[in-house]
Structure 1
Amino acid sequence: MIVNLKNPQTNQFKQAKAGFSWTMFFFGFWVPLFRGDWKWLIIMLLLDLIGIFTFGIVSGIANIVMAFLYNKLYIQDLIAAGFKPNDDASANILKTKNISFNGLAVD
């Protein structure tokens, strides 16, 4: 499910997927790199660096766990940065995924 988010102050528009992240599962730290999500890029790179010393075990576990969590964390970071759902369908998706946001959808 894709969520449409808009920042009313900057008029910036972003689309984000809600739910399991197959791209994070297969590509790991590349996902936050291409999304410009620097906080999670650094965290994933540190986990991959630790994974070098554990023969990839930490990296594999981190990719599996983050595949379940990353999209929700990314959307929560966008909401914290001032983004709001752009339509009622996006607001309903966020509610079903237990992602809280302030106010109503931006029209």
Structure 2
Amino acid sequence: MFVNLFNPYTHQRKQAKLGYSWTTFFFGCLPALFRGHFLWFFIGLLVLLIFGLETIGIVPGLYGIVMGFFYNKIYVKHLIKKGFQPATQEDENLLLSKNIFF
């Protein structure tokens, strides 16, 4: 399920996925880097580097599973803070149904 967002100041459009983040599940913190969401990239990188070596890879696996449930919602909230708004009424209703308020 995707939501279309529009920034009226920069006239940018973005399509963001809602629901489980399979890319975060498979690739850890790299999707945050590719989306330009550097704060969560560095948070994920620190978690993976600090705890990954101590737990022999258990934490990186758990990180992907757990963050897969949360990352897309975090990213959409980040876009809304940057000035993006729902492009249509359907997108607004979709955000409200996922408890994302703008």
Alpha-carbon distance, 1:6 to partner:
0.8
Runs of 4+ in structure 1 over 3 Å off: none
Q: How many residues align?
A: 101
Q: Distance in 2 between matches of 1:75 and 1:33?
A: 15
Superposition pairs of residues 13-92 of structure 1, within 5 angstroms: 13-50=13-50, 51-92=52-93
Please list the CA deviations of residues 22-75 of structure 1 after superposition, one character each: whole Å capped at 9, or x if unmatched: 111111111111111101110111111021221112211111110000000000
Q: Distance in 1 between the 2:24 and 2:89 partners?
A: 27
TM value normalised by structure 1? 0.90
**RMSD value, Cα:** 0.9
TM, length-normalised to structure 2:
0.94
Q: Distance in 2 between matches of 1:6 and 1:48?
A: 33
1:74 aligned partner, one-letter code: Y
Structure 1, unpaired ranges of 5+: 102-107
Letter in 2 for 1:87: T
Q: Give 1:11's aligned residue.
A: 11
Measure the CA separation in 2 of the matches of 1:62 and 1:15.
25
Q: Where does structure 2 lack aligned partners over 5 or more consecutive residues?
A: none
Aligned to 1:104: none
Query: For residue 15 of structure 2, what is the amino acid of its counterpart?
Result: Q
